[in-house]
Structure 1
Amino acid sequence: MLGIAAAVLFFIAFLINAADIATNDVFASGNVMLLGLTLLALHVAGVGTSLRSRRR
């Protein structure tokens, strides 16, 4: 799920950059890209996966 959210953020950052949309400093393409990288790093680290070990 975090990987999909990262892909969406990368796409939004691409659109902001490619269309040269004027945004404030919070929603600049670099900041959105860094949020995407953070989500991608969490996904690779295994945060949010649904694998749970069952103990009996």
Structure 2
Amino acid sequence: MLGIVAAVLFFFAFLINAADISTSDAFSSTNVMLLGLTALALHVAGFGTGWMSRRRR
């Protein structure tokens, strides 16, 4: 799930940068990209990968 969030954040960062949209300092393309990298790092670390299945005996 966090991988999808990272992809969406990267897309928004690309749109902000490509369209040269002026935003506030909190939503600059660099900050959105860093949020995407954080979500991607959490995804690779194993957070937000989905439900754990229980083992049956």
Tell me if TM exceeds 0.5: yes
Partner of 2:28: 28
Aligned length: 56
Partners of 1:53 and 1:3 lie apart in 2 by: 20
Provide the identity percentage. Answer: 79
**Paired letter, 2:33:** M
**Paired letter, 1:8:** V
Partners of 2:54 and 2:14 lie apart in 1 by: 41
1:2-49 CA-partner distances (Å, limit 9, x unpaired): 000000000000000000000010000000000000000000000012
Superposed CA RMSD in Å reads: 1.4
SS of the aligned residue for 1:26 comes to helix
Partners of 1:34 and 1:26 lie apart in 2 by: 11
Identify the structure with the greater helix proportion: 2
Unaligned runs of 5+ in 2: none
In the TM superposition, residue 53 of structure 1 has moved relative to its aligned partner by 5.9
**TM-score calculated relative to the size of structure 1:** 0.89
SS of the aligned residue for 2:12 comes to helix
